[in-house]
Amino acid sequence: MKLQLIARHLRDDQDFVVSEVNSEVNILILISLMEQKIEEDRPEGSNWRYSIQPLEEAYK
């Protein structure tokens, strides 16, 4: 299954795909990238929310 890291800015209420990976081998890459993005955005006041979700094709 392919997973994607999603970023959502609280003011825009719009999703942005940060990265996509194959979950069987690279889930730790997404978690590490999410931690990195959270640290980068900390000075902005935590206006971003991140989530890891399956691609839509997983539901078909």
Q: Could you tell me if residue 59 is inside a domain?
A: no
Q: Token digits for 39? A: 């640290």
Task: Give the position of tokens 């690279």.
Answer: 26
- The predicted structure's pLDDT at residue 1: 79
Average the pLDDT over 53-59 and give the result: 81
Instruction: Name the residue with higher pLDDT: 4 or 45.
Output: 4
Q: Does the predicted TM-score (pTM) go above 0.75? A: no
Q: Could you tell me if residue 60 is inside a domain?
A: no
- The predicted structure's pLDDT at residue 25: 63
Domain count, the chain: 1
- The predicted structure's pLDDT at residue 54: 87
Q: Could you tell me if residue 58 is inside a domain?
A: no
Q: Could you tell me if residue 48 is inside a domain?
A: yes
Domain limits at 49? Answer: 2-53
Q: Could you tell me if residue 16 is inside a domain?
A: yes
- The pairing of strands 15-22 and 48-54 is unpaired
What tens digit of pLDDT does each residue of 5-45 get?
888 888 877 788 888 777 666 788 888 888 998 888 888 77
Longest dimension (CA), the chain: 40
